[in-house]
Every structure is written in C-alpha cells, then in structure tokens.
Amino acid sequence: MRKPVIAGNWKMYKLLGEAVDTALALKPLVANANHCEIVIAPVFTALKTVADRLEGSNIKVAAQNCSTEVSFGAHTGEISAEMLKDSGCSQVIIGHSERRQFYRETHGSVNRKTKAALAAGLTAIVCVGEMLAEREAGSAENVVKGQLVSGLDGLTVADMESIIIAYEPVWAIGTGKTATPEQAQEMHGHIRRTLAETHGKEVADNTRILYGGSVKPDNIAVLMSQEDVDGALVGGASLEAESFARIVNYK
C-alpha cells in the first residue's frame, strides 16, 4: 500500500516571515489529512525556522537541493545533506528540471546527491522528466529511463525505501499545461516497469511516483485517480496555503 505524498516546492519565493506565515496558515487547513504525507520545500534560509514552527505537526520539511559532497570541507556556498537534516529537514528534492536546465546538474551529480541524501538519513525526491522536443521526437520514455537508471545507479533495495520519484514533464512545469491523466499514467507505468528492471518488482510496487507540472486544486483528483500516480509535486499552486491545502485535501 503506497501512501500518497503531496509535496510543495516553493522554489526561490518567500522571505523568512512569509514562509513562516504560509506554513502556519497551512497547518490547521491540513491537520486532518491522514490520507497522505504532506511536505513543503522552502528556501534554504527558511528551513530551520519553518521546521521548528511545524514541529509536532503532520507537515514535513524538505530542501530543494543539497551538495554532492558529504564531508565538511572547502566547498564554499554548498550545503550538505547532513546540514539539512540538522536543520530539521526529513526530505530533499534532487535533480529538479530547473536545476538540470539552468544549473548544469548532470545524471552524475543527481546520483551523487541522491547518495549523499540517503547517507544523511533523508528521503530523496528524485525528479525526472522530458523536454517538449524530446516528447515530440518520441523519445520521452527513453529519456526518463536514462535519468532513472543513472540517477539511481548503485542504490540497494534497502536504499530504495527512502526514494520517491517525481515525474515532471518539463513542458508542463509552470506553463499551465498539465499532462493529461492518460499521459501521466502512461509514463508512471513506464517508470514502475523501469524500477522493476533496475531494483525488482517489490521495489517497483512500493515506490511512490509523484506527478508534477501545473497541478492545481481542480486537476489533482483526476490525476490521483490514475493507478500509478501516488501523489504530486506542486510548484506555483503550493505558494498559497489555501490552494495547497485544497490539493492536499483532494479526497
């Protein structure tokens, strides 16, 4: 039985005060939502304060990135997975398409960051997804398979318990264009079959696969009705407590 996950990616929005206000506004709105795990991912500078203010609630805190490096050292500007854990995070988003596209994140760095997250005891939300041109060229499934195989390379069956996959077609992120429920299901099914090849059927059956790309209060229910859609990674619509709460409370 896969417990759904509804995660909000706040990207580079909100100063500290607003992040705290949004988190505190969300808390009562989702207090009775036991049907899913609820995660929010504020910017680095707000993580510790937001996590402290949400302590004892049913909302988990994730970071949006972590360093490939695991040891303390001369890595100016980097933040390790262990530091995120120390700041109250339980999860971290790895390989978001904005990081792959604009910050030169590679298959190799995604793999190293994923391993760093696991070593620190964090759950890694590993993002995959094709560009529009790749979909139009008919190579979407191959692209996503390549991202999965390299991103999860070297992970054991036990490691996979701390992995969540987020399928985010790049053409649907922040564009208002959502994949149809059928397109989402088709790719989620492909991801699960790929996981069965790389890590076995049990891992494939147990791994949560989230859909991301212009998820809104009015399309979450139909997406969640798909057999292999186990939740959502939400950007824009997670920035306001009310709209994110409506997504969480989709049932």
Q: Which residues are catalytic?
A: 96, 168
Output the smallest distance, CB 205 to ligand PEP, in A. Answer: 25
CB-neighbour burial class of residue 133 (10 A; exposed 0-12, middle 13-18, buried 19+): exposed
Counting contacts by CB under 6 A, is residue 214 touching ligand PEP? Answer: yes
User: Residue 186 corresponds to which tokens in the numbers above?
Assistant: 């088709």
Stretch 12-41 residues interacting with ligand PEP (CB under 6 A)? none
Instruction: Return d(Cα 209, Cα 227) in angstroms, integer.
Output: 11
Q: Which of 234, 245, 247, 248 binds ligand PEP (CB under 6 A)?
A: 234
Binding part of the chain for ligand PEP, among 53-61, 156-164, 180-188, 207-215 by CB under 6 A, reads 207-215
Beta carbon of residue 93, minimum distance to ligand PEP (angstroms, whole number): 8
Stretch that binds ligand PEP, among 28-36, 111-119, 133-141, 235-243 (CB under 6 A): 235-243
Helix (H) or strand (E) holding 37: strand 37-41
Q: How far is the CB of 206 from ligand PEP (least distance, A)?
A: 23
Neighbour count for residue 134 (Cβ, 10 Å): 18
Q: How far is the CB of 173 from ligand PEP (least distance, A)?
A: 4
Give min distance, CB of 164 to ligand PEP, in A: 13
Q: How far is residue 251 from each of residues 35, 101, 165, 231, 247, measured CA to CA in Å?
A: 8, 34, 22, 12, 9
Question: What is the enclosing helix (H) or strand (E) of 7?
Answer: strand 5-9
Q: Please spell the DSSP secondary structure of 49-91, one letter per residue.
A: HHHHHTTTSSEEEEES---S--S-SS-TT---HHHHHHTT-SE
- Is 233 a binder of ligand PEP (CB under 6 A)? yes
> If you compute the radius of gyration of the chain from its CA atoms, what whole number of angstroms results?
17
Regarding 213 and contact with ligand PEP (CB under 6 A), the answer is yes
- Compare residues 203 and 220 and give the one whose CB is closer to ligand PEP: 220
Q: Among 42, 95, 231, 236, which residue sits at the site for ligand PEP (rule: CB under 6 A)?
A: 236
Q: What CA–CA distance (Å, rounded) separates 151 from 124?
A: 11
Q: With respect to ligand PEP, which residue has the nearer C-beta, 110 or 233?
A: 233
DSSP class of residue 96 equals -
Choose, by CB under 6 A, the member of 47, 173, 229, 248 that binds ligand PEP.
173
Q: Which residues of 24-60 are buried (b: 16+ CB within 10 A; e: fewer)?
A: eebbeebeebeebbbbbbbbbebbbbbbebbeebebb
Stretch that binds ligand PEP, among 35-43, 84-92, 200-208, 232-240 (CB under 6 A): 232-240
Kindly state whether residue 235 participates in binding ligand PEP, applying the rule CB under 6 A.
yes
Report the residue number, 95 or 212, with the smaller CB distance to ligand PEP: 212
Residues of the shown chain interacting with ligand PEP in the complex, contacts defined by CB under 6 A = 9, 11, 168, 173-174, 212-215, 233-237
